[in-house]
Amino acid sequence: MRKLAAFLRGEDGAVTVDWVVLTALVVALTVLVANLMTTATTSLTDGTAAHMGAMIE
């Protein structure tokens, strides 16, 4: 029973949870930024290709 009470009072797992949540947020933010940059880059590339194609014709 004492081991259970000591386990419930312990805060070692809380630090791990904090790091897991922080890491998940950083990964989610990185994926979001990469997605936004991919969309913007694709749009810019398509616009440039269309403009260059119009100049050739």
Gap between the Cα atoms of 57 and 12, Å rounded: 68
Is 41 part of any domain? yes
Domain total of the chain: 1
43-46-51 Cα angle (round to 5) = 125
Tokens standing for residue 19: 């790091």
pLDDT per residue as tens digits for the range 31-54: 999 999 998 899 899 999 999 999
Q: Is the pTM of this model over 0.75?
A: no
For residue 28, being part of any structural domain is answered with: yes
Range of 25's domain? 12-56
Residue 44 in tokens = 């810019």
Q: Give domain status of residue 32, yes or no.
A: yes
Q: Does residue 5 form part of some domain?
A: no
Task: Decide if 48 is inside a domain.
Answer: yes
Token pair of 56 as six digits: 């050739």
Residue 6 lies in a domain: no
- Would you say residue 19 has pLDDT above 80? yes
Q: Kindly state whether residue 27 falls inside one of the protein's structural domains.
A: yes
